[in-house]
Structure 1
Amino acid sequence: MSVGLVIAAVDGSEHSLRALEWARLAALRHDAALMVAHVLPDVSQLYAGRRSALHDPNEPEEYPDPVGDHVRGVLEAAPELPREVRYEALEGSVPEALRAVGAESAPLMLVMGSRGRGGFASLLLGSSSRAVATTASCPVVVVPHAERDARAAAADPSAGRVVLGLHAAETPEDVLAFAFAEAAARGTTVQVVSAYAIPPGPTMVIDSPFAVIPPEALADGGDAVPAEREMLRSQTERLAPLRARYPDVPVEQAAVPGDAAGRLVTASRAAALVVVGRHHPRRRGLLMGSVATALLQHAHGPVAVVPTLPDGAEDA
């Protein structure tokens, strides 16, 4: 991904400004343009409609846009900007407007905060973030608010590995490609985490740390349980084309018993980004997979939700 567009959805809140900074750095890493998009408040949209309907030449052509002005000031103070920065003031509801601009622009990703200006302080995930991540046609990165981000106080919050939640038989290729491209742009490792179901035993400890195994260590089989060994081999088979395409990206593999969502939430504490797939549209609307939903609610760092292919396999 050497060219493209990163969209940052902002509303002037501190949560959205964290997402803007994340998007700025992402655009620089991918040598992409940056679009800063925000949905005009209702009063601005009503004013624009009234002026258009009345054709009153005495009314000013534009309504003041404090969010746009504030964001321009924030970016002007940034140490480095992407090769192109543009601003879009959108009309309509927040989810619909962002979905539309994402579909029209075909961006590398759309980045937004986990809560907006109007959210309650106790909410883990705002309704707009959930709606956009559930239905957008492009990858959506949700950046958590500072209180939930385990890396917020780090010297470089963008450092760390990219964690990929993988269901070897079902995760679409687009999800894997996004994770590897992001790791390549960052110069970091992809850690692949898959979960397998096993009957509970008296000595099994679900909350024990999972082992990370490099692919070359799988040759002798080690002392892994059969289900774990089979999962690791399935991972290796799915990852082979991506490892060939990105030979400089180190890969770590982990097969864990039980709950994939819980393991990925734990891994998010030390990750620069967690990447998962999203369920394809269902009969009565658009639903998101349980793993992606849990991560958006509880992850301690940014989460990328990558839409499934139209003919579609399900997410991890």
Structure 2
Amino acid sequence: MSNAVVIAAVDGSEHSLRALEWARTAALRHRAGLLVAHVLPDETQLYAGLRSELHDAAQAEPFADPAGDRARAFLAAAPERPAEIAYESLEGSVPEALRVIAPGARMLVLGSRGRGGFASLLLGSNSRAVATTAPCPVVVVPHADRGVEAAAEPSAGRVVLGLHAAETPDSVLDFAFAEAAARGTAVQVVSAYAVPPSPLLLIDSPFTVVPPEGLPDDGDAVPAEREMLRSQTERLEPLRARYPDVPVEQASVPGDAAGRLVTASRSAALVVVGRHHPRRSPRNLFIGSVANALLHHAHGPVAVVPTL
């Protein structure tokens, strides 16, 4: 997978250019090629179809492609570019067209909403559809309004991994560790355990991060927390062996995993989660509740990884 291409899906909007910039740096970080893809507008697709019927196909006529032109201009002005950059104009619906070119890609990067999104829209329909069905990891970069609050805090630069120790697919863990290795940063692993309702539980209270050597073994932690940390450690052992230079931080938190991960996204370089609810089939078209909450509310980029 080391040579797999990074795909940036653009539509000419400012949101998609933010995603293109993220994809550019990801391609450089992984020493991968960059494929800039955009789906032609409906009117352009109609024009192209009519033109092919009325003219000789051997005498192709150029047509306006503002999204592709803007992406080329954006990359031309970038301080550094991947060694290999390709552009592809696609036809069909956005989710289906991107799904066709995505197999084998390292990741597909797109903005949280496109040119047609309402100003108040948290997640565009195309972004959700692609994150739900693409055959490769999908990174959704939030629009600027959602990043303002996060920008006020210094970024720790770590990769945050949402982990259900017993059920999260291996592909999710491997993506998170590979991304941290490429960045030269740590993986912070966050797992949640169920607790009885309590008026003393503060929903927004910070969670504790511990290194492996600091795992409680003297009864100080509640049994559920202690068991969750033990399960984490066992599940992460093969990843630590595979990525010995990646520091690992472990956190076991009570209650809502989605809320804790949204909070962690304020200072994370990337939050990584699995696509589906672990008890559902990988072919199920419903996205898991944790992934869905992050796509709508995270303050930074979110990677949604399918079972590969």
Per the TM alignment, residue 166 of structure 1 is displaced from its structure 2 partner at its CA by 0.1
* Aligned residue type for 2:294: L
Give the conservation status (yes or no) of the 8 Å contact 1:151–1:270: no
Report the equivalent of 1:130.
Answer: 128
Q: List aligned pairs for 1:147-162, cutoff 5 A.
A: 147-150=145-148, 153=151, 160-162=157-159
Report the equivalent of 2:288.
Answer: 289
Separation in structure 2 between the aligned mates of residue 161 and residue 58 of structure 1, nearest angstrom: 52
RMSD: 2.2
Q: List aligned pairs for 1:123-272, cutoff 5 A.
A: 123-150=121-148, 153=151, 160-218=157-215, 220-221=217-218, 223-272=220-269
Q: List aligned pairs for 1:26-175, cutoff 5 A.
A: 26-55=26-55, 61-103=61-103, 106-150=104-148, 153=151, 160-175=157-172
Give the conservation status (yes or no) of the 8 Å contact 2:6–2:32: yes
- What secondary structure, in the 3-state scheme, does the structure 1 residue paired with 2:160 have? strand
Count of paired positions: 306
- What secondary structure, in the 3-state scheme, does the structure 2 residue paired with 1:22 have? helix
Segments ≥4 residues shifted beyond 3 Å = 56-60, 150-157, 219-222, 280-285
Separation in structure 2 between the aligned mates of residue 6 and residue 270 of structure 1, nearest angstrom: 24
TM-score scaled by length of structure 2:
0.94
Report the equivalent of 1:313.
Answer: none
Report the equivalent of 2:300.
Answer: 301
Per the TM alignment, residue 47 of structure 1 is displaced from its structure 2 partner at its CA by 1.2
* Aligned residue type for 1:262: G
Separation in structure 2 between the aligned mates of residue 98 and residue 119 of structure 1, nearest angstrom: 19
TM-score scaled by length of structure 1:
0.91
Separation in structure 2 between the aligned mates of residue 24 and residue 57 of structure 1, nearest angstrom: 34
Name the % identity: 77
Separation in structure 2 between the aligned mates of residue 222 and residue 79 of structure 1, nearest angstrom: 54
Could you say if the C-alpha distance between residues 20 and 134 of structure 1 is closer, same or farther in structure 2, counting changes exceeding 3 Å? same
Could you say if the C-alpha distance between residues 2 and 257 of structure 1 is closer, same or farther in structure 2, counting changes exceeding 3 Å? same
* Aligned residue type for 1:227: A
Report the equivalent of 1:312.
Answer: none
Could you say if the C-alpha distance between residues 97 and 199 of structure 1 is closer, same or farther in structure 2, counting changes exceeding 3 Å? same
Give the conservation status (yes or no) of the 8 Å contact 1:221–1:229: no
CA offset digits 1:185-220 (Å, max 9, x no partner):
000010000000011234333321100010111263
Could you say if the C-alpha distance between residues 138 and 151 of structure 1 is closer, same or farther in structure 2, counting changes exceeding 3 Å? farther
